[in-house]
Homo-oligomer: A and B are copies of this chain.
Amino acid sequence: MSAQRAPRYTGRVSTAVVVVIFTVRDGELCALLIERAAEPCKGQWALPGGALLPDETIDGAATRKLADETGVSDVFLEQLYTFDKLGGKADIVVAYFALVDFERTRLREDLEWRPAWHPVRALPPLAFQNERILALAEQRLRNKLEYTNVVYSLLPERFTLTEMQQVYEAILGETMDKRNFRRRVVGLGIIRETGQTRKRGAHRPAMLYEFTSREPVTL
């Protein structure tokens, strides 16, 4: 597109979309990977993705991939970066990243191209330089956690402050002070009390909170 004098060579290149899908499970940040059942890189793991369908937007392709693999939609999904020369079939790969609540996902069942959650601190061998994409996504996630409310997309409708804190700790990889954490998130206005409590085990019941907005907001 756009202005250019040069002879009008029109590069047509094969373009694909991949999605880094993060969740927090058992206090660990995990990403969804798919085991490759065919060459190239058979037996290695790769991010979910694929070519665009005819007339499909790139956002649309990312949304579709996310839904195909996890069954969820209406979650945080954002474009991450566009790569080239990654070594796969596509010349250009537009990467997205998504955040999902583990409890809401239903992974596609496939014996051949099996999807599975992998802790990002213990990844298997990855195809097509997918480490680079994952590393960038993780960094963006850490940043966004600090100055946006994106954590809403990793938690259920109602949750306790301890659960919320565990999500932050899993992603940032550091423990936090309970009192400071609570003051901060309540003070920022991203969550509010529901008035309901939840009894779980031999201790005082926990207040349940909800997000004031389930749309991404920059603080």
Residues of A within 8 A of B (CB): 1-6, 8-16, 18, 34-36, 45-54, 56-59, 79, 81-82, 84-90, 92-94, 110, 112-113, 127-128, 130
Contacts and interface: CB of A to CB of B under 8 A. Distances in A.
Contacts of A36: 3
B14 A47 contact: no
Given A1-B49, A58-B92, A92-B94, 14 more contacts: A1-B87, A1-B89, A2-B16, A2-B46, A3-B47, A3-B49, A3-B50, A3-B113, A3-B127, A8-B51, A11-B56, A12-B15, A59-B84, A79-B82
Contacts of A6: 50
A107 B46 CA distance: 44
A92 B111 CA distance: 34
Given A10-B89, A12-B12, A79-B82, A112 B49 contact: no
A148 to B, nearest CB: 12
19 contacts: A1-B16, A1-B87, A1-B128, A2-B18, A2-B46, A2-B47, A2-B50, A2-B90, A2-B93, A3-B47, A3-B48, A5-B112, A9-B53, A11-B16, A11-B51, A11-B52, A12-B15, A57-B85, A92-B94
A180 B165 CA distance: 36
B57 A9 contact: no
Of the candidates A1, A13, A56, the one having the most CB atoms from chain B within 10 angstroms of its own CB is A1
A23 to B, nearest CB: 18
Contacts of A45: 3
A89 B47 CA distance: 30
A17 to B, nearest CB: 9
Contact of A11 (B4, B10, B53, B81): B53
